[in-house]
Amino acid sequence: MTKKAFSGRIVVLGFGSIGSGLMPLLFGHFEDPRVTVITADDRNIEIAREYGVEHQIHPITKANYARILQDNLMAGDFLVNVTVDVDSLDVIKWCADRGVLYLDTVVEPWAGYYTDERLPVHERSNYFLRQRVLDHRAEIEPGATAIIAHGANPGLVNHFVKDALLQIAAENGMDAKPETRQEWVELAHGLGIKVIHIAERDTQRSSVPKDRGEFVNTWSVDGFISEGCQPSELGWGTHEKSFPVDGNTNPAGSGAAIYLNQPGLMTRVRSWTPDEGPMHGWAITHNETISIADFFSGVVSGSLYRPTVHYAYHPCDAAVSSMHEIAGKNFVPQERQRIITDDVVDGVDELGVLLMGNEVGSLWYGSNLSIDQAREAAPHNNATSLQVVAPVLAGMLWAVDNPDRGILEADELPHDTIIETCRPYLGTMVSAWTDWTPLEGRGVLFDEDVDDSDPWQFGNFRVS
């Protein structure tokens, strides 16, 4: 493999599970990369030393970010923002003004934003945070490429949706070659896609069980608690017949998504993955829920079409137990937290998209990555982080080749190129057809209020 030549400096902001997991991929794919890590603490410093990269400890705030970035970056450099608590928009604007390439995996606000009860609920949504960035596009384009929300999900799964649509088209005997957004919308509509889940089941387990008063997860505990405390959000499909009693529309923007008046940590939905089969996952808000729904919104034959899109996340069992504990304490975080990586003894992260509504059946398409496959592919990662750092790398490589494209979302990048770059890090790619619906097995022990006339109504998926 030819390594990518890039003469600029790569500054990795944040050195938690993602920043440190990115190191082997940067050194594997860039020719002699010049890397600086800037982070808030000394976590994983031994990994920085192993790769011989400069490691600075500077907690970034609104007051100091411009000075710290100024000291470390110039035109032609690349900033990868994999922190929690550092505002994406402020950093994007700074980079755009100076010709610095940018990529993040979440559209992040400054510290304290997600749980600031003085803000109206809709402003604590990912819909609002995404819209804030999109509203600035006109202001700062054309400029250095800034790819937002490009990890596993959001990011990689956005590309999986397009690949899955092409697979469903082929199964329907169609030779589809959509290029424009409208052509993608027409394809999804023509195939009858009504609901898209980002359906994930993580079964990784540590040799050390979760203790009382500890939040255990396979990626950022701070990040997970933050998004879990945001309102649950979903792209709202045009086939939906009834609006949730606790549902709310957003006051501005595309209107592609709605939010529920409760946190994602309390919102469970029925879903399905190939290994797990039927499961309850959590509809935690994510950027892709909104951007995929927005991308696939369009007028077809005179009527607006949009699929319902949401996350159905079954995290590792220790995280489920941690969620139960934090919910019982009204979201006051546990005193201790632990991200499991080297201590993972077994398990798989099954991360894919489940497209429902086509007559042939529903298709789950995604990555089935075991901890053993992850360790074989790259050090310093568990299965979850590797599914994130692969698309970070793929986005960076694409941005280096396309340096002046302004702010971009995953849905605007070439899905096939990104998946191809990621593939060596994704374990087994699985395309699994299923006839599962959320009505399966319902109403047996008790009567249930379901809509038998259309399995794909959100009310049929929702548990709590």
Binding site for ligand NAD (CB under 6 A): 13-19, 39-41, 43, 59-60, 82-86, 105-106, 108, 151-155, 219-220, 222-223, 339, 388
Residue among 81 and 131 whose Cβ is closer to ligand NAD: 81
Q: How far is the CB of 252 from ligand NAD (least distance, A)?
A: 24
Q: How far is the CB of 286 from ligand NAD (least distance, A)?
A: 8
Residue among 59 and 361 whose Cβ is closer to ligand NAD: 59
Residue among 410 and 432 whose Cβ is closer to ligand NAD: 410
Q: Which residue has the tokens 């137990």?
A: 321
Q: E strand or H helix at 98, and its extent?
A: helix 88-98
Q: How far is the CB of 190 from ligand NAD (least distance, A)?
A: 30
Q: How far is the CB of 91 from ligand NAD (least distance, A)?
A: 11
Q: E strand or H helix at 70, and its extent?
A: helix 65-72
Residue among 31 and 116 whose Cβ is closer to ligand NAD: 116
Distance in angstroms (rounded) separating the CA atoms of residues 23 and 392: 11
* CA dihedral (74, 75, 77, 82) positive or negative: positive
Structure token digits, residue 100: 């610095």
Cis peptide before 142 (omega within 30 of 0): yes
Q: How far is the CB of 270 from ligand NAD (least distance, A)?
A: 23
Q: How far is the CB of 405 from ligand NAD (least distance, A)?
A: 20
Q: How far is the CB of 387 from ligand NAD (least distance, A)?
A: 7
Residue among 145 and 226 whose Cβ is closer to ligand NAD: 226
Residue among 198 and 355 whose Cβ is closer to ligand NAD: 198
Residue nearest ligand NAD, CB atom distance: 16
Number of H helices, E strands in the chain: 15, 23
Distance in angstroms (rounded) separating the CA atoms of residues 308 and 18: 29
Buried b or exposed e, range 187-221, using 16+ CB within 10 angstroms: bbbbbbbbbbbbbbbbbbbbeeebeeebbbbbbbb
Residue 425 half-sphere exposure toward CB, CA atoms < 13 A: 29
Residues 84, 148, 373, CA angle at the centre, nearest 5°? 75
Residue among 14 and 281 whose Cβ is closer to ligand NAD: 14
Cβ atoms of 269 and 282 closer than 8 Å: yes
Residue among 112 and 173 whose Cβ is closer to ligand NAD: 112
Q: How far is the CB of 396 from ligand NAD (least distance, A)?
A: 14
Residue among 77 and 85 whose Cβ is closer to ligand NAD: 85
Cβ atoms of 143 and 408 closer than 8 Å: no
DSSP 335-387: SEEEE-STTEEE-EEEEEEEEE--SS-EEEEEEEEEHHHHHHH-SS--HHHHH
Q: How far is the CB of 391 from ligand NAD (least distance, A)?
A: 8
- 156 residue type, one letter: L
Query: φ, ψ for residue 293 (rounded to 5)?
Result: -60, -40
